[in-house]
Amino acid sequence: MLNMNINSALITGSGRGMGRAIALRLAQEHIPVIINDLDKRLGEETQKLIQDSGGICSLKIGDAADEDFVDDMVENSVSEYGSVDILVNNAGVLRPTPIVDITLAEWEFVIKGNLTSTFLCTKKVIPAMKKNNWGRIINFSSTAGKNISTVGGAHYTAAKAAILGLTRHTAKEVARFGITVNALCPGLINTEMVRATISDELVAQYANSFPIQRLGEPDEVADLVMFLASDKASYITGASLDINGGDLMI
């Protein structure tokens, strides 16, 4: 059961894939949704899907790893809705480059797109959540954060591992304010980003190697986000929840 006093939810990287599925799922619960993406066309597509289904949403096009943009996005959202009560740090980038071929520029790009974006958005929403003595922050790590990436490079693995540490530390700092902070660790999910990175043949090989022999679906991830955002998860914080079809069991 979701808290009835939720004013809004911000989902970064919600133009497609898991972010879009999460935004649609939250909107179905009559929660005003703030869509964020770098791609204006994709963001507008998500916005239209929500509005066509009777949901309330606003669109913030920009880089969740840019401090000035994040400051404006959160401040405008708080001004519009009163508070941002749920933050889903879904934005991320993936590159499959072998470590010997990773340039410093690409390293910084991947770290920034995954880890820095999570840090900046988390930092910015906490003051408003403190005022309400309630909040849900849900970070996206990966099986890569606990092992190594299935398709990404060393920079992706490093960023996703760091997100787990950021999750634990933040959870401990803000628990006394009624804010929970948790991480999801998806395995190979059937998203456009995965499909654009590896061939269909390789996708099939990976899927057949999992105990549950298929890719996960974005809607399944959205259901797990809904649980963490609900009052049913009020005693869970600093945790990492796996959703990987048994690919990684620890």
Helix axes 154-174, 117-132, angle to 10 degrees: 20
Q: Give CA separation, 131 vs 65, 85, 179, 195, in Å.
A: 25, 10, 11, 42
CA gap 34, 40 in Å, rounded: 14
Q: Is 27 in contact with 53 (CB distance < 8 Å)?
A: yes
Q: Is 35 in contact with 14 (CB distance < 8 Å)?
A: yes
Nearest to 4 by CA among 85, 89, 87: 85
CA gap 203, 27 in Å, rounded: 31
Q: Which amino acid is at 164?
A: L
Q: Which amino acid is at 175?
A: A
What tokens appear for 192 in the block?
């456009």
CA gap 86, 232 in Å, rounded: 15
Nearest to 181 by CA among 144, 138, 219, 150: 138
Q: Phi/psi at 33 (nearest 5 deg)?
A: -115, 135
**Catalytic site positions:** 156
State the pairing for strand pair 240-243/57-61. unpaired
180 C-beta neighbours (distance < 10 Å), count = 21
